[in-house]
Structure 1
Amino acid sequence: MSIQTELGKAFEYACLQSIYNELADSQDVVIEQNSALEIARQKYENATPDMQNKMDLGADAAIRVILRLEPQLTTPLTNVPLYLSIQEDARGQQGDVRDILCIRRQNEWEIGLSCKHNHAAVKHSRLSRTIDFGELWFGIPCSESYFIEINPLFDELEELREQGELWRNISNKEERFYVPLLEAFIRELERLNQNNQGVIPERLLHYLLGRNDFYKIITIDNRRVTQVQAFNMYGTLNRNAGRERPLINVQQLPMPTRFYNIGFKPGSRNTVLVALDNGWTISLRIHNARTEVEPSLKFDVQLVGVPPLLYSHFEPWDT
């Protein structure tokens, strides 16, 4: 597990504890016990006291914002207890990006939080000769011509792996591997879109963001602020609690229906930009995830353009 992953797990625990500390004095709150909670607690306890303090401040800032958006958290009426849980990693592999769930089972209400520690990536997908990204992302298989294009690249990477080669010793890795692989990826994405009109843009967002609404929490330590974004694509966030209304209104987001452009980021040989309608733009930066050469490459996927309706707030730690 990388340091970034460990700190991410620790931050999940800090966020869970912040919700509990804020609400447990006024209502019955139950933290559900599972292996994901134990892992997150361990990572939090292994962090330095300074890092724990930063995580606590970052989490507290986020929860201040979310309490203004979700009156069901603070207005239980007879709908108790409030259940809090950290999701197992397998849920993310199944397309649910939420790390923490807040649930009231009596009225089937829940919200989810996606917790990010000093980064805003939405996905870390891979490409290889055995990965059919069309099937995995959209439920529509890639063409045979795509695999005919990419297989020689991964065959060469396999040979380099067997030789024990390191990425830092490959001086022309972008022109040799990144560019041709991304060109094949672009052609296949365009082909899938052309053959399945009106389907691929929305399924791309479903793959990246899942099929559940959620709040994205991003702690930014060097600025001592936490960003909260509301990905309210299905209209399940920001609901009333009886007569209690949210202090801030969060609008439902429009999903994309078509691509405007798919191409390399200007001046880049490792990043593809996918521009869609309704304000969505996706950046896919390919890179080697390990020091040693291996026959797969990894995408760092980020939303660099979002709809104007997206609720986003920066909450300072020091109030």
Structure 2
Amino acid sequence: MAGQMKAGKAFEYAILREFKGKLEKLTTVKVIDNSPLILAKECFHGFDTQKQGRYLLTASFAVNFLIDIEPRLSNDIDETDILELEILPDSQGEIGDVRDVLAIRAVQKWEIGVSAKNNHKAVKHSRLSPDIDFGKKWLGVNCSSNYFSKVNPIFAKLKDMQKKSDGMRTWGSIDAKSLIVYTPILNAFKDELQRLYDADKERISRQL
């Protein structure tokens, strides 16, 4: 198996594991035991503990965000309302279903899917930047000036670091990336998405 594919499968398992770990404290959770799960688990355990930790940390950010904005993940309606977690086979992608991990509530006839992207090009291509209005691009509603006032100084600081080093500063050389970059940007993104959702729940729900 190619390294990139192995990493992708490992990340799928990390997402499912984080879903299970966080949600089984709040509701009844069942993991669908299938061949994609077995493969993803094998790929995950094929990496060293440091790499596994990185996958789990990244997955934790995503899962926490989804739990915050989607109450049905953690709230059942009765004891028969079980949340099922499933890793989908690659064959689903061949018919246009890009979701990798599913959370399903059959009793409520509801499900939510996650497309687990963990390749270099996806990380390199910035989905969030000082110039990208993700609200307009993804949801058709402009982000607020308050959102940009939070993220722009962070991107400006990164740009200044690069300029002062004549373009030689590497991402790996930046200390405390989680504290000064990841966490504040993700918090600003989360707060803005929540604001957009609160302003027009029906419209935003259709777009997510």
Please tell me the TM-score bracket, short chain as reference.
0.5 to 0.7
**Corresponding residue SS for 2:86:** strand
Distance 1:118 1:80 in 2: 35
Alpha-carbon separation, structure 2, partners of 1:81 and 1:107: 10
Secondary structure of residue in 2 paired with 1:33: coil
Structure 1: runs of 5+ lacking an equivalent: 122-220, 229-237, 239-245, 255-309, 312-319
Task: Tell me the equivalent position of 1:101.
Answer: 102
Structure index of larger Rg: 1
**Paired amino acid for 2:65:** V
> 1:36 touches 1:86 (CA, 8 Å); kept in 2?
yes
Deviation at 1:26, TM superposition (A): 2.2
Higher strand share: 1
Equivalent residue number for residue 49 of structure 1 = 49
The equivalences for 1:110-149 within 5 A come to 110-119=111-120, 121=122
State the SS of the aligned residue for 1:96. Answer: coil
Aligned equivalents of 2:18, 2:88: Cα separation in 1:
17
Which amino acid is 2:38 matched to? E
**Counterpart code for 1:29:** V
Matching residue of 1:73: 73
TM-score by length of 2: 0.60
Q: Which residue in the other structure is 1:84 paired with?
A: 85
Could you tell me how far 1:76 is from its partner in structure 2? Answer: 1.0
TM-score by length of 1: 0.40
Confirm or deny: 8 A CA contact 1:69 1:247 kept in the other structure. Answer: no
What is the aligned residue count? 141
Superposed CA offset, 1:98-128 (max 9, x none): 000000001210000001114465xxxxxxx
Structure 2 unmatched ranges of 5 or more: 123-170, 187-192
- What is the aligned-residue RMSD (CA, Å)? 3.0
Q: Which has the higher contact order (CA 8 A, sep 6+)?
A: 1
Residue-by-residue CA offset, 1:226-258 (whole Å, 9 max, x unaligned): 998xxxxxxxxx9xxxxxxx786164499xxxx
Q: Tell me whether 1:27 sits opposite 2:27 in the alignment.
A: yes
Q: Answer yes or no: is the 8 Å Cα contact 2:84–2:105 preserved in 1.
A: yes
SS at match of 1:117: coil
Structure 1 segments of 4+ aligned residues over 6 angstroms from their partners:
none
* Percent identity of paired positions between Structure 1 and Structure 2: 33
